[in-house]
Amino acid sequence: MPYGPNMTRLIASFIPINAIPRGGGLKDGIKFFSDPVYRQSVMDKSEADALESIRVIHSAIDDPYKDYDDEVIAGILLDKIQERKNKQRMKYD
């Protein structure tokens, strides 16, 4: 299914999380690049995670984004992710 740029970036933001799970390491990263079956499973899970994040927002009783499509919501989520990263960087600067 083709996605817009925001949704594509949101899916991509899940790839490192799924490719190298908590407690994982270099071995998992190498597996991601060398094993096409594992890579596809990571890509599928990342797509499912991104779609699930949008679905959770839409299922909220007080959904503040009910009038927005998935692409716009993906952009909002990406902005929130970037804000969080910026706060973490400021914490260590």
pLDDT at 53: 95
Please report which confidence band the pLDDT of residue 93 belongs to, taking 50, 70 and 90 as the band edges: low
Quote the tokens at residue 2: 């083709």
Condensed to tens digits (0 to 9), the pLDDT of residues 39-72 reads 999 999 999 999 999 999 989 888 888 889 999 9
Contact 72, 6 (CB under 8 A): yes
Backbone angles phi, psi at 92, to 5 degrees: -105, 0
What is the residue type of 2?
P
State the pTM of this model. 0.85
Q: What percent of the chain has pLDDT over 90?
A: 74
Contact 46, 12 (CB under 8 A): yes
Of 10-19, 22-31, 83-92, the least confident: 83-92
pLDDT at 90: 75
Q: What percent of the chain has pLDDT over 70?
A: 98
